[in-house]
Amino acid sequence: MLRSVILAASRSSGVERLVATAPVTRDLVRRFVAGTTSDDALRATRELVDAGLTVTLDHLGEDTVKAEQATAVREAYLRLLAGLGAAGLTASAEVSVKLSAVGQAIDEQLAYENARLICAKAAEVGTTVTLDMEDHTTTDSTLDILAKLRNDYPDTGAVLQAYLRRTESDCRELSGPGSRVRLCKGAYKEPESVAYQSTVDVDKSYVRCMNVLMAGSGYPMLATHDPRLIAIGQDRARWYDRTPDQFEFQMLYGIRPDEQTRLAGEGHTVRVYVPYGDQWYGYLMRRLAERPANLAFFARAMASRK
Ligand code: FDA
Q: Is the CB of 250 under 6 A from ligand 1?
A: yes
Task: Give per-residue pLDDT as tens, 43-85.
Answer: 999 999 999 999 999 999 878 899 999 999 999 999 999 999 9
Tens digits of per-residue pLDDT, 130-141? 999 999 999 999
Distance 172 CA to ligand 1 centre (A): 23
How is domain 50-276 classified at the CATH fold level?
TIM Barrel (3.20.20)
Predicted pLDDT at 14: 66
What is the DSSP annotation of 188-250? S---TTTB--SHHHHHHHHHHHHHHHHHSSSEEEEE---HHHHHHHHHHHHHTT--TTS-EEE
pLDDT score recorded for residue 306:
39
Task: Dump pLDDT digits (tens) for 131-187.
Answer: 999 999 999 999 999 999 999 999 999 999 999 999 999 999 999 999 999 999 999
Q: Please give the share of the chain, as a percent, with pLDDT higher than 90.
A: 78
Give the integer Cα–Cα distance in Å for 121 and 118.
5
Tell me if 89 sits within 8 A of 43, measured CB to CB: no
CA of 262 to the centre of ligand 1 (A): 18
> Taking residues 252-276, what's their average pLDDT?
97
User: For the chain, how far is it from start to end, CA to CA, in angstroms?
Assistant: 27
- Expressed in angstroms and rounded, the spacing between residue 130 Cα and the centre of ligand 1 is 17
Tell the residue nearest (CA) to atom 51 of ligand 1. 224
Parse the chain into domains and list their residue ranges.
1-33+278-306, 50-276
- Report the distance separating Cα 129 and Cα 142, nearest Å: 13
28 pLDDT band (50/70/90 cuts)?
Answer: confident
Residue 38 is predicted with a pLDDT of 93
DSSP 136-194: GGGHHHHHHHHHHHHHH-TT-BEEEETTBTTHHHHHHHT-STT-EEEEE---S---TTT
Ligand 1 atom 1 nearest Cα: 226
Q: For residue 194, report the distance from its CA to the centre of ligand 1, in Å.
A: 20
Residue 277 has pLDDT above 50, yes or no: yes
Report d(CA 283, CA 62) in Å as an integer: 9
Mutate to test the pocket of ligand 1, among 48, 226, 295, 298 (most ligand atoms within 8 A of CB): 226
Q: Is the pLDDT of residue 9 over 80?
A: no
Residue nearest atom 37 in ligand 1 by C-alpha distance:
223
What whole-number distance in Å separates Cα of residue 218 and Cα of residue 248?
12
Higher pLDDT, 111 or 2: 111
Q: Which atom of ligand 1 is nearest to 251's Cα?
A: 36
β-sheet bridge partners, residue 249: 222, 270
Residue positions annotated with a catalytic role: 132, 182
| Per-residue pLDDT at 302 | 63
Residue nearest to atom 8 of ligand 1 (CA): 226
Tell me the best of 146, 185, 188, 204 to mutate to test the pocket of ligand 1, counting ligand atoms within 8 Å of each CB and taking the most: 185
pLDDT of residue 247: 98
Q: What is the mean pLDDT of residues 219-242?
A: 98
Contact, 239 vs 211, CB < 8 A?
Answer: no
Cβ of 54 closer than 6 Å to ligand 1, yes or no, is no
With a 6 Å cutoff on the Cβ, whether 294 touches ligand 1 is yes
> Contact, 78 vs 85, CB < 8 A?
no
Read off the pLDDT band of 294 (50, 70, 90).
confident
Question: What's the pLDDT band for 303 if we cut at 50, 70, 90?
Answer: low
> Model confidence at 301, in pLDDT bands (50, 70, 90)?
low
**Is the CB of 295 within 6 Å of ligand 1?**
no
Residue 303 C-alpha to ligand 1 middle, in angstroms?
26
